Chains A and B, each alone.
Chain A
């Protein structure tokens, strides 16, 4: 009996990992089939479609580089890339300091802070469509909050002026996502060993000093995780911008994802829209690689594991 047990453990320890992998592989199949069918194949498909012309209904015809030529020579593309970059940079620059500050604060253990984090989380429950609709009504120059309160400062044509509309998009994005990132930082701050703060206290370091010499450096990997999510997420702000401004006024808030939708599903030019989608994929991949490099090789790996 014991001999059987030892031989079983022995074989488990030696090379039967491979055999076990074989008997386990089928379990990964359902997920793999779904992911292949509706993510990998479409990913290849989008590249193929970028070399065709298709109106979304009729036949798909091979069209060589036509779509790419049309997209690359269109001044709309650099503009959409620029707007996408601005949204990414501005939303990062607004959200990160605010989320760190709130996260550090929420990491304290007082009861009312727990209540605060419950309330902070509410915007994340609303759909982007609901949030966009709410702000559209709230900011309406004639019927919105500003007009109702008769405050001229709030009564602007918020979504009618390019600069204001851009600011509104950044504000609404922050409104929706700062709570989530604060929670990430709250978790990060709680992992910092208490002894580090005690040592700093003994050395007579003040709060500001402690924050910059201990909290911030210790949060390095949390900052990378949170920034990765912010930056990757900013490429997919489609629903919010679509409902809030539809890319307008003019094309002031026309980001890449919106550009793809408008060309494909409104102008029925699926070829050029697919070319934009390919660009979107490459921007996403480049950013992911860049952020991994930023985190250092090992850290990047464990970071990705931990997400």
Chain B
């Protein structure tokens, strides 16, 4: 049941094919309660975001004088200049290195593991491996940061970008394996069998057959992990100390500590750290939303 809904999910959640309109009886008469709730919630979501954006263009002195919900009279880019001059480019590059450095190996390793788990169901070793990953979902992995700190020190990786990459890979594996193996289970067995008869090895089947067929799931998992790692705070906090090894969330936090009185500058830094993710979201939105609703909702 779970597996069939997953493949049908992405297609069903894409925007309305005509004729599926009356999925629910809402079209009969408007549902006032839910309608009003949804608009109120929209306001709750949008007002703070709107406030962040307009305030980031205000000068510090005007911030105290103007109505906080009215766009700035004399918009300024000074806050953004200040933030960029505070080494944000460096932190951006650090975040990029850590995110790509963790997501690519994590997704590749998870994909290979999922393939092995789905294809080699007879193997006891692979069954235990799968249970181990599932257990990782139930355990708050944050509880392991103290030994991770110790391991990273002993490996000589404290205060390096690689030191943040390695645990991030491990933390991404359980959910990635779960989602990917669910999708892999839906690849018809006959396809594998026919490739096998043609003499394909498992490695060849993995890259030529399984990978192209599950590409949507791979994208969803990659974006989801990238979001988590890009926004990660605890690992950079405990595994680095020098300012030039900071990732964006940590830089944001220390910038806020330094310039807490300069609210427009702090908010400009919030906008700048969020822009890259917003860009990815705009490009991969459909994939991410449909992948997530399909993966979680049943």
Residues of A that sit less than 8 Å from B by CB = 5, 8-9, 12, 15, 17-18, 20-28, 30-32, 34-35, 37-43, 45-46, 49, 56, 60, 98, 101-102, 104-109, 111, 113-114, 116-130, 133-138, 140, 143, 145, 148-149, 175, 178-180, 183-191, 194, 197, 200-201, 207, 210, 221-222, 225-226, 229, 232, 235-236, 238-239, 242-243, 257, 260-261, 264-265, 270, 273-274, 277-278, 280-281, 284-285, 287-289, 302-307
* Nearest CB of chain B from residue A256's CB, rounded to whole Å: 9
Complex partner residue of A24 from B23, B52, B126, B149, CB under 8 angstroms: B126
Q: CB distance A194 to B120 under 8 Å?
A: no
Q: CB distance B146 to A30 under 8 Å?
A: no
Residues of B that sit less than 8 Å from A by CB = 1-3, 5-6, 9, 12-13, 15-16, 20-28, 31, 33-35, 37-38, 41-42, 44-46, 48-49, 51-52, 63-64, 66-69, 105-106, 108-110, 112-113, 115-117, 119-126, 129, 132-134, 136-151, 166-167, 169-171, 173-175, 177-179, 182, 193, 196-197, 202, 206, 227, 230-234, 238, 248-250, 252-253, 256, 261, 263, 266-267, 270, 273-274, 277-278, 281, 285, 289, 292-298
User: Which residues of A are found within 8 Å of B35, using beta-carbon distances?
Assistant: 105
User: Which residues of B are found within 8 Å of A101, using beta-carbon distances?
Assistant: 33-34, 37
A46 to B33, CA, bound (A): 49
Q: CB distance A184 to B126 under 8 Å?
A: no
User: Which residues of B are found within 8 Å of A117, using beta-carbon distances?
Assistant: 289
Main secondary structure of the interface of B (DSSP, over half): helix
Beyond the given pairs A114-B15, A116-B38, 14 more chain A to chain B contacts, judged by CB atoms under 8 angstroms and listed by A's residue number, are A12-B193, A17-B122, A17-B123, A20-B122, A24-B120, A24-B202, A32-B129, A105-B38, A129-B250, A148-B64, A180-B292, A184-B293, A201-B28, A281-B140
* Nearest CB of chain B from residue A266's CB, rounded to whole Å: 11
A153 to B111, CA, bound (A): 53
Most buried by B among A26, A34, A229, A236: A34
Q: CB distance B142 to A236 under 8 Å?
A: yes
Q: Can you give 22 A-B contacts (C-beta < 8 A)?
A: A20-B120, A24-B119, A24-B123, A34-B170, A35-B133, A39-B144, A42-B147, A42-B151, A49-B150, A117-B289, A128-B233, A130-B274, A133-B266, A138-B48, A145-B51, A175-B44, A187-B13, A200-B25, A225-B297, A257-B143, A280-B140, A306-B5
